[in-house]
Amino acid sequence: MTKRPRMKKVNAPFRLMPAASWTALGVTWLIWVLNAFDREVVLRLGPVISDHFQLTPEAWGAITSAIFFALALLAIPGSRWSDKHGFGWKRAIFQVPLVIGYNFISALSGLKFAIHHLVVFIALRLGVNLGAGWAEPVGVSNTTEWWPKERRGFALGVHHTGYPVGALLSGLTVAWILKSFGVDKWYYVFYIGLIVSVPLMGFWAYYSSERRYVETLDKIDSREMTSFRNEHIEAETGEVAGAIQVCLRNKVVMFTGATCALTQIVYNGVSYILPLYLANIINLSYSEAAAYSIVFTITGILGQIFWPSLSDYLGRRMTLIICGLWMGVAVGGFYFAHTIVAYIGLQLFLGMVANAPWPIFYAAATDAAPRGTSGTANGIITTSMFIGGGLAPLIIGFLISVGGGWGNVTGYSISFIFMMVSAIAGVLFQIALKNKAN
């Protein structure tokens, strides 16, 4: 008889969480909303941009892939640099200029000199994602370091609800801009991130101080929870020799990274294909396609709190297996959906797990990381994620083209089957870990 996984006891009631832990979570959550908004808005604008620059499915797929691959380039070296400098309050030193910087470049990509020249537009979007990819593992590590280990899954789950919220806002904002100002003013959306990021990061630069961080750790320790300082007692700052190699030899980190890459193929694939399908097959307007393509983020917000919190009890590996199987069934269902009602229903079903795995991936990597390498381990997860994210539009763009182009349903149907297989393959990596993961 197969034993059921035992639910772990977590002795860390929320009433004992320091106020600064909640504030730090709020700030890093808003940073993540901005990151998601800017990343997803390009996908929401997919039909508009491909029409504006007269792009084929393969060309738009290749451009989107290049933009997403850029997210992977600085994730590991950037997070490693962050680890060397120190943890906790010192992470903000990296976050503040990074977040303002990539939002500034995003604003530049919305100026006329950029939107009139495809090469310039692509170059600026690559620059945006170089910074955003670096910032992500830094932000994830920062979130975990203000919270006790016992509530890491919850904290990362709440933090990552910023992604479906950002994705939801991207669709609603694009729909509003296209409807209010006209399709030819689509680039207005790129100005929003800079307007929001400057005051937000100014506050974070002030709030993330050494005194406040040390007081927060002291409160966590005095309340019989495990602070990041005590969990990594010998890894205050500085170089850990061969940190990247150590993480690459860690089976949990690498298998979790493989699952992450395959899961991201599904997520990015869905985000990429839905606006195109709704505009080209269902024949919705560009504004309507942007709005209806983010329905899954509504249930995604709920699932992103539920599943990571459950992983604190059920274990990271078992939770990822359940989420992966659910995702595979949901995305495979799109093969049989041919009406807007069916698409909305499946999006809501998929949304329950669509955003859930990523904080669990990061929590699993942080749990398994050798001392002083948590940022590096998170960087490996981030790199794996963006490799999968970059492959998705490249492959799906090719499949749509082979299936007859923008207006033929065949390529879209094949793409949904491909994404279902990717989700199941990710589950197999977690099964292979057996009891080695948390």
Q: Does residue 6 lie within any of the structural domains?
A: no
Label residue 182 by pLDDT band (50, 70, 90): very high
> Is the pLDDT at 236 greater than 80, yes or no?
no
Name the more confident of 173 and 9: 173
Q: Does residue 278 lie within any of the structural domains?
A: yes
Q: How many domains does the chain have?
A: 1
Q: Does residue 4 lie within any of the structural domains?
A: no
CA-to-CA separations, 400 to 185, 281, 419, in angstroms, rounded? 27, 12, 13
> Is the pLDDT at 362 greater than 80, yes or no?
yes
Using CA atoms, how far apart are residues 116 and 64, in angstroms rounded to an integer?
18
> Is the pLDDT at 436 greater than 70, yes or no?
no
Q: Does residue 123 lie within any of the structural domains?
A: yes
pLDDT digits 0-9 by tens, 270-327: 999 999 999 999 899 999 999 999 999 999 888 888 898 888 889 999 999 999 999 9
Q: Does residue 11 lie within any of the structural domains?
A: no
Q: Domain with 50 in it: what CATH number?
A: 1.20.1250.20
- Closest alpha carbon to 357 in 262, 220, 286: 262
Assign 146 to helix, strand or coil.
coil
Label residue 5 by pLDDT band (50, 70, 90): very low
CA-to-CA separations, 149 to 120, 160, 254, in angstroms, rounded? 44, 17, 21
Residues 6+ apart with CB under 8 A from 238: 84, 372
Q: Does residue 31 lie within any of the structural domains?
A: yes
Please state which of the ranges 136-150, 176-190, 193-207 shows the lowest mean pLDDT.
Answer: 136-150
Q: Does residue 409 lie within any of the structural domains?
A: yes
> 227-253 b/e with 16+ CB inside 10 Å = b?
bbbebbeebeeeebeebbebbeebebb
In this prediction, residues 174-190 reach a mean pLDDT of: 95
Q: Does residue 7 lie within any of the structural domains?
A: no
Label residue 10 by pLDDT band (50, 70, 90): low
Please state which of the ranges 15-24, 200-209, 359-368 shows the lowest mean pLDDT.
Answer: 359-368
- Measured between alpha carbons, how far apart are the two ends of the chain, in Å? 22
> Is the pLDDT at 200 greater than 80, yes or no?
yes
pLDDT digits 0-9 by tens, 49-101: 999 999 999 999 999 999 989 988 887 777 677 767 667 788 888 789 989 99
Largest CA distance in the chain: 67
> Is the pLDDT at 130 greater than 60, yes or no?
yes
pLDDT of 189 reads 96
Label residue 437 by pLDDT band (50, 70, 90): very low
Domain ranges, residue 341: 19-433
**Could you tell me if 146 and 87 are in contact, meaning their C-beta atoms sit under 8 angstroms apart?**
no
Mean pLDDT of the chain: 88
Using CA atoms, how far apart are residues 423 and 325, in angstroms rounded to an integer?
7
Label residue 232 by pLDDT band (50, 70, 90): low
**Could you tell me if 375 and 75 are in contact, meaning their C-beta atoms sit under 8 angstroms apart?**
no
